[in-house]
C-alpha cells in the first residue's frame, strides 16, 4: 500500500468516526444554546453547521491549489 493510499484510508476512518459521533448527538441537545463564538450566539446546531461549512471551504482551497498545479 502506498503512502497516499494509507493516508486516504486513515482519513476515511477518521471521517467515519466523526460521523458516528455526530449521529450519536441527541436531537434535543442540538437545540441548546451554545456559547462558542463560531455558533454566533445560536444553538449547538449552528456550531455544527459552521464547522461543516468551514471544512467545505478548506476542501475548496485544496481543489483550487491542485487545479493551479494541474493535478486534478
Contacts of 55 (CB under 8 A, 6+ apart): none
Give the pLDDT score at 69: 87
Give the number of domains in the chain: 1
pLDDT of 14 higher than 80: yes
Residue 53 CA to residue 38 CA, distance in Å, equals: 11
Give the helix/strand (H/E) hosting 8. helix 3-23
Domain boundaries, position 26 = 3-68
For 2-13, write each residue's pLDDT tens digit. Answer: 888 898 899 899
For residues 30 and 45, the answer to whether their CB atoms sit within 8 Å is yes
* φ, ψ at 54 (rounded to 5°): -65, -45
Amino acid at each position: 500500500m502506498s503512502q497516499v493510499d494509507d493516508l486516504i484510508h486513515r482519513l476515511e476512518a477518521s471521517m467515519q468516526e466523526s460521523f458516528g459521533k455526530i449521529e450519536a448527538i441527541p436531537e434535543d441537545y442540538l437545540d441548546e444554546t451554545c456559547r462558542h463564538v463560531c455558533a454566533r450566539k445560536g444553538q449547538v446546531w449552528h456550531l455544527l453547521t459552521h464547522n461543516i461549512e468551514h471544512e467545505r471551504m478548506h476542501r475548496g482551497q485544496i481543489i483550487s491549489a491542485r487545479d493551479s498545479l494541474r493535478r486534478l
